[in-house]
Amino acid sequence: EAQVTQNPRYLITVTGKKLTVTCSQNMNHEYMSWYRQDPGLGLRQIYYSMNVEVTDKGDVPEGYKVSRKEKRNFPLILESPSPNQTSLYFCASTPRDRVNTEAFFGQGTRLTVV
């Protein structure tokens, strides 16, 4: 079954404690991205990756890092989380050769930073 898997689904952490949210897709997609969703603001792109070892900033990259060492994985790293990073996070993947097409989303990670 084609899917994008995020972990964990829920996470409560304290300010400053480094964390990683994992994302894995089994569709051999080149393009992957991370979004955060906050009430009234819609989906905002944090980082995206066009292929292995190729990443770039989205609209709200401050406070986040990503890596793309393998095609299937695209982890989101918060080196020093702060309460303003409390949000609902989604990973998505799309085949690069047809960027004008459907984005497949993970199940979401609800992060609370206290």
Q: Which of 4, 3, 10 has its CA nearest to residue 87?
A: 10
Question: Which range of residues in 13-21, 64-72, 79-87, 93-101 is near other proteins by CB under 8 A?
Answer: 93-101
Give whichever of 58 and 63 is closer to other proteins, judged by the CB atom.
58
Question: Which range of residues in 11-19, 20-28, 70-78, 104-112 is near other proteins by CB under 8 A?
Answer: 104-112
Interaction with other proteins in 6-35: which residues (CB under 8 A)?
Answer: 35
Q: What are phi and psi of 98, to 5 degrees?
A: -140, 65
Interface with other proteins includes 100 (CB under 8 A)? Answer: yes
CA–CA dist 44, 25 (Å, integer): 20
Q: For residue 13, what are its two tokens?
A: 């952490």
